[in-house]
Amino acid sequence: MNRGERRALRHYRLRGYRLLEANARAGGYELDLVLRRGRRLLVVEVKEKGGDGFGHPLE
């Protein structure tokens, strides 16, 4: 798990989500994080940005 994935995981854990799988494979795709809170299931693709050379992260 890379730094961006760890930061994203922390974000979701603070909101009550539980990690089911990290870097899972499904149908030829990699799923960075698979999380669950109650009946809600999240599949998260994490993109980490190192600087603002290509614009602000919220753009």
Cα(52)–Cα(21) distance, integer angstroms = 30
Cα(2)–Cα(47) distance, integer angstroms = 10
What pLDDT is recorded for position 31? Answer: 95
What pLDDT is recorded for position 50? Answer: 73
What pLDDT is recorded for position 10? Answer: 97
| 59 residues of the chain, pLDDT tens digit each | 899 999 999 999 999 999 999 999 999 999 999 999 999 999 999 988 776 677 766 66
Distances 43 to 2, 13, 19, 34, 38 between C-alpha atoms, Å: 17, 14, 10, 5, 14
User: Residue ranges of the domains in the chain?
Assistant: 3-44
